[in-house]
Amino acid sequence: MRLWLRRHAFLPALSALAWMALAQRGGRTSSPAAQDPQQDVQLPNGKSQRDEILKAERDQNIKDAAQLVELAQQLQEDLEKNDRFVFSLSTLKKTDDIERLVKKIRARMRHN
Protein backbone atom coordinates (compact mmCIF):
# COMPACT_ATOMS: atom_id res chain seq x y z
CA MET A 1 0.00 0.00 0.00
CA ARG A 2 2.81 2.41 0.88
CA LEU A 3 4.62 1.71 -2.37
CA TRP A 4 1.43 2.41 -4.30
CA LEU A 5 0.99 5.74 -2.45
CA ARG A 6 4.58 6.77 -3.14
CA ARG A 7 4.25 6.04 -6.85
CA HIS A 8 0.96 7.87 -7.14
CA ALA A 9 2.21 10.87 -5.15
CA PHE A 10 5.32 11.11 -7.28
CA LEU A 11 3.49 11.37 -10.58
CA PRO A 12 1.39 14.47 -9.70
CA ALA A 13 4.43 16.19 -8.23
CA LEU A 14 6.45 15.48 -11.36
CA SER A 15 3.67 16.70 -13.62
CA ALA A 16 3.29 19.89 -11.54
CA LEU A 17 7.02 20.59 -11.87
CA ALA A 18 6.88 20.02 -15.61
CA TRP A 19 3.87 22.31 -15.92
CA MET A 20 5.60 25.07 -13.95
CA ALA A 21 8.74 24.79 -16.10
CA LEU A 22 6.68 25.01 -19.29
CA ALA A 23 4.72 27.98 -17.97
CA GLN A 24 7.90 29.87 -17.14
CA ARG A 25 9.49 29.15 -20.49
CA GLY A 26 6.30 29.93 -22.38
CA GLY A 27 5.77 33.18 -20.48
CA ARG A 28 8.83 34.72 -22.07
CA THR A 29 7.41 35.30 -25.49
CA SER A 30 9.04 38.52 -26.55
CA SER A 31 10.63 39.67 -29.74
CA PRO A 32 14.18 38.53 -30.49
CA ALA A 33 15.31 42.17 -30.56
CA ALA A 34 14.25 42.61 -26.93
CA GLN A 35 16.29 39.57 -25.88
CA ASP A 36 19.45 40.61 -27.75
CA PRO A 37 21.38 43.17 -25.64
CA GLN A 38 23.50 44.10 -28.65
CA GLN A 39 20.42 45.37 -30.50
CA ASP A 40 20.02 49.04 -29.57
CA VAL A 41 17.08 51.34 -30.22
CA GLN A 42 17.87 54.56 -32.02
CA LEU A 43 16.06 57.75 -31.02
CA PRO A 44 14.61 60.07 -33.68
CA ASN A 45 17.62 62.36 -33.30
CA GLY A 46 19.93 59.45 -34.23
CA LYS A 47 21.38 58.89 -30.76
CA SER A 48 21.36 55.57 -28.95
CA GLN A 49 18.54 55.23 -26.42
CA ARG A 50 20.78 53.22 -24.09
CA ASP A 51 23.51 55.87 -24.21
CA GLU A 52 21.01 58.63 -23.44
CA ILE A 53 19.61 56.70 -20.48
CA LEU A 54 23.11 56.05 -19.13
CA LYS A 55 24.00 59.73 -19.54
CA ALA A 56 20.85 60.84 -17.69
CA GLU A 57 21.52 58.36 -14.87
CA ARG A 58 25.13 59.57 -14.60
CA ASP A 59 24.00 63.19 -14.37
CA GLN A 60 21.46 62.27 -11.69
CA ASN A 61 24.12 60.33 -9.76
CA ILE A 62 26.37 63.40 -9.80
CA LYS A 63 23.56 65.62 -8.48
CA ASP A 64 22.65 63.09 -5.79
CA ALA A 65 26.31 62.73 -4.78
CA ALA A 66 26.61 66.51 -4.38
CA GLN A 67 23.49 66.50 -2.21
CA LEU A 68 24.93 63.56 -0.28
CA VAL A 69 28.13 65.50 0.46
CA GLU A 70 26.10 68.50 1.61
CA LEU A 71 23.96 66.37 3.93
CA ALA A 72 27.05 64.64 5.33
CA GLN A 73 28.66 67.98 6.11
CA GLN A 74 25.49 69.21 7.81
CA LEU A 75 25.35 65.98 9.81
CA GLN A 76 28.96 66.42 10.90
CA GLU A 77 28.25 70.01 12.00
CA ASP A 78 25.18 68.89 13.95
CA LEU A 79 27.13 66.14 15.68
CA GLU A 80 29.95 68.54 16.59
CA LYS A 81 27.49 71.11 17.99
CA ASN A 82 25.84 68.61 20.31
CA ASP A 83 27.88 68.12 23.44
CA ARG A 84 25.48 65.55 24.86
CA PHE A 85 24.57 62.05 23.81
CA VAL A 86 21.09 63.16 22.76
CA PHE A 87 20.43 63.89 19.11
CA SER A 88 17.71 66.00 17.60
CA LEU A 89 15.10 64.62 15.24
CA SER A 90 16.52 66.70 12.41
CA THR A 91 19.88 64.96 12.86
CA LEU A 92 18.22 61.57 12.65
CA LYS A 93 16.26 62.72 9.60
CA LYS A 94 19.52 63.69 7.91
CA THR A 95 20.87 60.18 8.45
CA ASP A 96 17.70 58.78 6.86
CA ASP A 97 18.07 61.16 3.91
CA ILE A 98 21.70 60.11 3.48
CA GLU A 99 20.73 56.45 3.51
CA ARG A 100 17.93 57.06 0.98
CA LEU A 101 20.30 58.89 -1.39
CA VAL A 102 22.93 56.17 -1.13
CA LYS A 103 20.36 53.50 -1.95
CA LYS A 104 19.15 55.46 -4.99
CA ILE A 105 22.69 55.89 -6.31
CA ARG A 106 23.53 52.22 -5.67
CA ALA A 107 20.36 51.05 -7.43
CA ARG A 108 21.13 53.18 -10.49
CA MET A 109 24.71 51.90 -10.60
CA ARG A 110 23.62 48.25 -10.31
CA HIS A 111 21.02 48.77 -13.03
CA ASN A 112 23.77 49.44 -15.56
pLDDT the model gives residue 44: 86
pLDDT the model gives residue 105: 94
15 lies in some domain: no
100 lies in some domain: yes
6 lies in some domain: no
1 lies in some domain: no
36 lies in some domain: no
56 lies in some domain: yes
97 lies in some domain: yes
Q: Alpha helices, DSSP H only, in 1-112?
A: 2-26, 32-35, 49-81, 89-111
What residue numbers bound the domain in which 72 lies? 47-112
More confident residue, 6 or 91: 91
67 lies in some domain: yes
Q: Per residue in 56-90, pLDDT tens?
A: 999 999 999 999 999 999 999 988 888 777 778 88
DSSP at 31: -
Strand partners, 42: 48
Asked if 16 contacts 6 with a C-beta cutoff of 8 angstroms, the reply is no
Domains in the chain: how many in total? 1
Q: Per residue in 28-48, pLDDT tens?
A: 544 444 455 567 788 888 888
